[in-house]
Amino acid sequence: MLTDSMRRFVMSNGRGYDKATQRVYHQRLKQYALAAVEDLGLIAQNMPEKMQGQIFNHHILIPFFELVLNINGDISDKDREVKRKRLLSLIRELLFTLQKNEMDRKLAREVWNVLRHSPRSQLTALNVIEAIFIASLNP
């Protein structure tokens, strides 16, 4: 996705580049990243499951998620707080998406049938996580 010069820029954190060049690279990086995410969505929506399994699996996605969710990087306290709020919002929206699309019921049918009758059934977001987690232990 990135050109060699873009990769060098990212790896240097922009050090050694003038402000105008940094602005150009930042704009291009944003455009490339947004296009890549959109393209991955197209693959997830339209390609056969066998191909998706080679791309969207824990060997590839977990290291990526660990990098995205890392809040312990070399950043200022102010940026860490901004990132913390952004990540909490992102995770909340992911939970709402799972709940809205009834992913717990679709991914973990057997577990969901037990959980929906539990006295905690009002805790739908927690039940989503619980049902998917339990089902993943015994696929």
Tens-digit pLDDT profile for the chain (139 aa)? 899 999 999 999 999 999 999 999 999 999 999 999 999 999 999 999 999 999 999 999 999 988 888 877 788 899 989 998 999 888 888 877 777 766 656 767 776 666 666 665 555 666 667 777 777 777 5
pLDDT recorded at residue 101 = 67
Q: What is the pLDDT of residue 103?
A: 65
Residue 76 near residue 104 (C-beta atoms within 8 A)? no
pLDDT at residue number 23? 97
CB 56 within 8 A of CB 44: yes
Reported pTM: 0.73
Per-residue model confidence (pLDDT) at position 122: 57
3-state helix, strand, coil in the chain (%, to 5): 75, 0, 25
Q: What is the pLDDT, as a whole number, of residue 120?
A: 55
Number of H helices, E strands in the chain: 8, 0
Closest CA to 104 of 122, 135, 131: 131
